[in-house]
A and B are shown apart, each in its own frame.
Chain A
Amino acid sequence: MGTTTVERPAPGGTKGARRRRVVGLATLVVILVVTGAVSLAVGARALSPAEVWHGLFAEPDPDRRLTEIRLIVETVRVPRTVLAIVSGIALGVGGALIQGYTRNPIADTGLLGVNTGASFAVVTVIAVFGFSNPFQYVWFAFLGAAVAGVVVFGLASIGRGAGNPLTLALAGQGITVFLAAMTTAVALSDQASLNALRFWRAGSVAGVGFDVIWPVTAFIAAGLVAALTTLPAINLLNLGDDVARGLGVNIALSRIVGIVAITLLAGAATAACGPIAFLGLMVAHVARYLTGPDYRWLVPYAGLLGAIVLLVCDIVGRLVVRPGELDAGVVVALLGAPFFAGLVWRGKFKSA
C-alpha cells in the first residue's frame, strides 16, 4: 500500500469548488467541439468552415466540386473524427479507472497486455481465415484484448502482491513480450497478416468506416455505463480495502465491474484504432491535477481530455509530414513518453 495517489477524497467539496469543476467540464466540452470542427476541416485537402458546413448539412448538389467536398467530409473526415472522439473517451476513462483500481500511478491500458492480446488475435485470424476486412477481424481483436486484460489482471491480483504498482506492470510486461513474439511468429509465416498487422499496429483512427464504428461505440457505451456505476466505490476503495469494506462496499463485485468496464473500453478502442499507449495514463494525470482525487469528477474529465488529446494528435499527424500522414498512435507516443518521463523525473512515482 501507500501510493502518492491515495489521497482522501474531499468530503463533498465546497460550493465554489463544485462550480469550478462544472465550469471546467463545460470548458472541456467546448474545446472538444472546436477541436472536432478543426478535425473536419484539416487534412490533405484543407476545407473552409463553409465547405465543411456544406459537406455536413447541405442537400445533394449538381455542382461537381461541392459533391466532391461532401464525399470527403462524409466518408473520410466524419468517421475519423467520430472514432477519435469515441476512442479517446474510452481510453481516457479506461486509464483513469485502471489507475483508480490498481492505486497505481503508472497504470495504463497499454501496460495490461490489452494491445498485444488484440494484435495476436488479429494476426492469428487473418492467417487462419484469411480475413481482409476490418469489420471481420475487429471482433477477434476485441476478444484477444479482453482475454489478455483479464489474464494480466488475474495474475497481478494473486496473493500478497495484489494492488501493487510494479506487480501489474511486471505481469503486463511478461504477457506483452510473450504475445508479441507469438504474433511475430504467426506474422512471419503469413505475409497477408504481416501486412495487415503493420498498419493496424501503428495505431490510427483513419480508414475505418461506420460499419465498424457503430458496434465499437456500443461496446464503449456499455463500458462507460459500467464505469459510471462504480465511481463512488473507487473513491472508497482508495481509502484501503478494509475501510471500504467497513463502509459497505462489496469489494469483489466492484472490482469485477471495474475489470469488465476497463476491458470493454480499452478492448473496443484498441480493436478499432490499434494500440494507442500512454493516452490513458497521460490524461488521467492531467485530470487529477485539474480536479483532485475525487473519481466522480476525475473520470469524466479524463474522458473528455482523452478525446481532445487524441483528436489533436490525429490533426497534428495530418499536418507535420504532408503530404503523408503520421499515425495518431505514433504522435500520442511521441507526446506521451516525454510526459511520462517528466512525471518520473519530478519524482511523482517515488513512493509508488
Chain B
Amino acid sequence: MTTAPEFSLCEQLIVAASEAWRGNGELVATGIGPAPRLAASLAKVTHTPELMMTDGEAYLVEDPVPLGPRGYDDRKPAGYLPFSRFFDAAVWPGKRHAMVTPSQIDRFGQTNISYLGGTYDQPKVQMLGARGFPGNSICHINSMFVPAHSKRVFVEGEVDMVSSVGYNPARRIAGATFDRVDLRLIVTDLCVMDFGGTDHAIRVVMLHPGVTFDQVQEATGFALQAAAEIEETAAPTAEQLAIIARLDPHNLRATVLKDNPAGKRT
C-alpha cells in the first residue's frame, strides 16, 4: 500500500466514507449521490466483498456499476431487487446500510429532506418529501455524507421536518421499539463524526488534514463532542485512487465539492 502523492479532497472523503460499510456483512450497500455511491463501491471492491449492491435500477450486481454514460447492457446482473421488492427485502428486514445527504441534520441525528421553512401546509421551500427516510431510519443502518459542513446543514434546534428518526428522547413513543435505529458515520468536507458521544451525541472522530476541532465546531449549530483521540483522516492509497478512477471514468467526483479542492489544504 503506497500513499499517492496527489489526490482531491473528494477522493479522500470517498475513502473515509467507504469505511462506514466495513464488516457489515451481506446487506445492500446504498450510496445516494456520486461520492457515497463510489464509497460503497470501493468498500465492496476492497475490504467488504460480501456487500450486496444494485445497478441503481432493478438488478443486484457483484461488480459495482461505474458512474455515468456507458453501454446500456454493460451491467451483468447477479440477482434481482426491483423497487417492488426493495422495501420487502432490503429496507424493512434491515438488510441495508444507506449513506445519504440530508438537507438538515440536528444534534439527535434527525434529518430533513422534506421542506425548509414555513409550515407543512405552506412550506417556504419544498424539497423532495420524506421519501424513504422514515422507514430507512427505523429499520436499518444509516450514514450521512455532507459535502459542505455548515450551520445551515447542522442546525441549532430541531430540523424543520423530522424526515428520519434519530436519537431524540422526546420523539420516542411509549411501548414502541426503536432498537434498530443505528446511525454510524457522518463524513463531511471537514471531518468524520459518529454517534459515540454521551447518549448517542455526535462526536468528532477524525479531522481532515489542516482542519481543527474549533473550525468544525464553528461550522456546526450545536455543541459537538470530541473522541478521546481524534485521528487525522488518512490519505487515499494509489490502489484506492485507481479503483475510484475506474468506477468514475467521467470524473463526476470532481463536481461534488465546490471548486474540487485538493486533499492537502494550503
Partners in one complex: no
Residues of chain A touching chain B, judged by Cβ–Cβ distance below 8 Å, are none
Residues of chain B touching chain A, judged by Cβ–Cβ distance below 8 Å, are none
